[in-house]
Each structure stands twice: as structure tokens, then as C-alpha cells.
């Protein structure tokens, strides 16, 4: 293997790592959520992520469409490491980053809970 092939392998393994989260069911102490990523396999970023969020106490649900979040590679353009998901509905922003689920209202965090995979 020449040095160019080795460099390409290192870059590919760093910038195109598989997501830590994918379609599935997740839970926090207050919420249950189902996430479905509806993009072609192999796509690094996705703007078609569907989440159904259900309050465990009230059983009320909200359905939102969002996108994946990534760091940006050294070229300043290409998405690299998967960070999580973000969703927006009205003045509420829902985010899943580093095994934490947060809800922000008007840029103020109103919920921050640990997220676990349930299926």
C-alpha cells in the first residue's frame, strides 16, 4: 500500500465513521422517542430524520422532522464525526447529542436528560 492509499484510509475512517445513533427507540426519564433516519445508506448527513416524541406521563406525542449533526472535516465543508440529531417545531428545538436529550424554548434549555436505547 502506498502512502496516498494509507492517507485516504485514515481520512475515510475518521471522517466517515458510522453514526452512534440510528433508527430505533430511545428513552429518557420523561420521554420515549422513535427515530427513523430516511436517507440512502452511506450518506454522511441526512436532512430527513423523523422523530415521534411521547411524554410518558401525559401520553401526548409530537412528530417532528429534523437532521443529523456532525463536526466539519479539515476542508471546512465536508461533514465528519456524527454528533447526533436536531429537530425544530415552532419555538422548540429538540436535540440529541452525546447520549443526552435536550429541549430548548426560545434558546433557553428547559429539558436535559440522559438518553438510553430501548430496542
Query: Measured over all CA atoms, what is the biggest interatomic distance in the chain, rounded to whole angstroms?
Result: 60
- Reported as type and span, the H/E element at residue 5 is helix 3-15
pLDDT at 15: 42
Whether the CA torsion 16, 63, 25, 39 is positive or negative: it is negative
What are the backbone dihedrals phi and psi of residue 9, each rounded to the nearest 5 degrees, phi first?
Answer: -60, -40
The structural domains of the chain, ordered by start, are 3-117 (2.40.128)
The tens digit of pLDDT for each residue in 62-119 reads 999 999 999 998 999 888 888 999 999 999 999 999 899 999 999 899 999 999 988 7
The average confidence (pLDDT) of the chain is 84
Dist. CA 60–CA 41, nearest whole Å = 32
Dist. CA 93–CA 104, nearest whole Å = 5
- Reported as type and span, the H/E element at residue 10 is helix 3-15
pLDDT higher than threshold 90 for residue 19: no
**pTM exceeds 0.85:** no
Q: Order of strands, edge to edge, in the sheet holding 108-114?
A: 108-114, 100-105, 92-97, 79-89, 61-72, 49-55, 31-37, 24-27, 116-117
Amino acid at each position: 500500500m502506498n502512502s496516498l492509499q494509507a492517507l485516504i484510509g485514515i481520512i475515510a475512517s475518521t471522517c466517515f465513521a458510522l453514526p452512534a445513533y440510528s433508527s430505533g427507540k430511545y428513552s429518557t426519564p420523561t420521554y420515549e422517542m422513535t427515530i427513523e433516519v430516511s436517507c440512502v445508506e452511506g450518506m454522511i448527513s441526512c436532512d430527513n430524520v423523523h422523530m415521534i416524541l411521547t411524554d410518558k406521563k401525559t401520553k401526548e406525542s409530537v412528530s417532528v422532522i429534523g437532521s443529523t449533526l456532525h463536526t466539519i472535516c479539515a476542508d471546512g465543508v465536508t461533514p465528519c464525526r456524527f454528533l447526533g440529531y436536531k429537530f425544530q417545531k415552532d419555538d422548540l428545538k429538540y436535540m440529541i447529542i452525546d447520549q443526552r436529550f435536550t429541549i430548548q424554548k426560545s434558546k433557553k434549555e428547559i429539558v436535559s436528560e440522559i438518553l438510553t436505547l430501548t430496542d
